[in-house]
Amino acid sequence: QGAELAMRELETKGLPLLSIDFQDDQNIAKNAVGIMNSFCTIKRYPVVIGAAGSSVSMAIAPLANQYRVVQISPLSSSEELSVKGDDYFFRVCPADDQQAKILAKWVLERTYPKIAVIYTNNSWGHGLAESFKKIYSDEIAVYEGTREGETDFRTLLTKIKGEGCKAIISPTYPKEGGILVKQARELGINCDLFGADNWGAPEFIEIAGEAANGCFFISQYSYNGPEFQHLNEEYKKITGKDADVFVAYGYDTVYAISQAFKTSQANKGADIRAALLNVTFQGASGYIAFASNGDLKTEAFEKKIILNGKSQVYKKGKE
């Protein structure tokens, strides 16, 4: 939706961007590889936006590099992509290594005698969990990965309850995280629950229901300047809802590509890649500028808590 809104604005301004061909990979790597092959070899697009999931972005990055097609993700945050994404991978969201540091220090500050870590076992979840574990110096009594799409965490949660863990740290997607949190509360587990940035998604709160209240998570810094206010106003006209940082990422991705098109010598992947490295602007999600490896030069996260079904900036003592 954010990308489509940016497209409409660019059309009214007459700025150079043709169209977007939306294809749903369903967050499945095999699907994405098929789509990417078509984009690179048949349709010969110079730029591909995506994927959302880091493991899916990892799967299509070799094709982007093989065919010299710019791959720019609004959402894939795994720190592995900083290296394995190679020359043609860019992203408009910050990488997870900074997120893991803030999360580990936050949990350490709260001095739990023992904790559990449950993570989605893919490049994103495992990478974030491993980065957390490197920094976290107190006892981790349970450290286990679960498959993408897991719907039953009860056996693992019973184990955690038996260990007497006082906090669960869970880099899981909104759907899995929402189920985990709901099942934890149903089992009478009253420990603190910490998630990663995507626990701020509406899907997490919808699935977890009342159990979402009191959950902690790390979120990308929510820029609230005039660029975001403009996006939010236009987004509300279309959807009736407030925009969030994920909408802003999609929006800024299209504007970044548009700027690169304006300054590239030709609409070819190699030229657009070179142009993207010089793109700078104040976006709706924050300041956009890319490092040589395609990561954002600026990385910003903040602590958040869910209260009364809404996420808000965490303030110590206000749980």
Tell me if 74 sits within 8 A of 257, measured CB to CB: no
pLDDT (tens digit per residue) in 9-37: 998 887 756 688 999 999 999 999 999 99
51 cis-preceded (ω within 30 degrees of 0)? yes
Dist CA 197 CA 128 (whole Å): 11
Confidence of residue 223 (pLDDT cuts 50, 70, 90): confident
Joined together, the tokens standing for residue 18 give 């043709």
**Strands, E, within 197-293: which ranges?**
216-220, 280-282, 287-289
pLDDT score at 299? 65
The fraction of the chain above a pLDDT of 70, given in percent, is 97
Mean pLDDT of 41-54: 95
CA distances 248 to 132, 154, 157, 275, 301, Å, are 27, 35, 35, 21, 15
User: By C-alpha distance, which of 79, 76, 139, 134 is closest to 103?
Assistant: 134
Strands 192-195 and 216-220: parallel
pLDDT (tens digit per residue) in 175-186: 999 999 999 999
- Does the pLDDT at position 319 exceed 70? no
Q: What is the DSSP string of 88-153?
A: TEEESS--HHHHHHHHHHHHHHTT-S-EEEEEESSHHHHHHHHHHHHH--S-EEEEEEE-TT----
Confidence of residue 317 (pLDDT cuts 50, 70, 90): low
Report which of residues 14 and 55 the model is more confident about.
55
- The structure's pTM equals 0.74
pLDDT (tens digit per residue) in 239-250: 999 999 899 999
pLDDT (tens digit per residue) in 145-203: 999 999 999 999 999 999 999 999 999 999 999 999 999 999 999 999 999 988 988 89
Tell me if 79 sits within 8 A of 106, measured CB to CB: no
- Does the pLDDT at position 229 exceed 90? yes
> Strand, helix or coil at 272?
helix
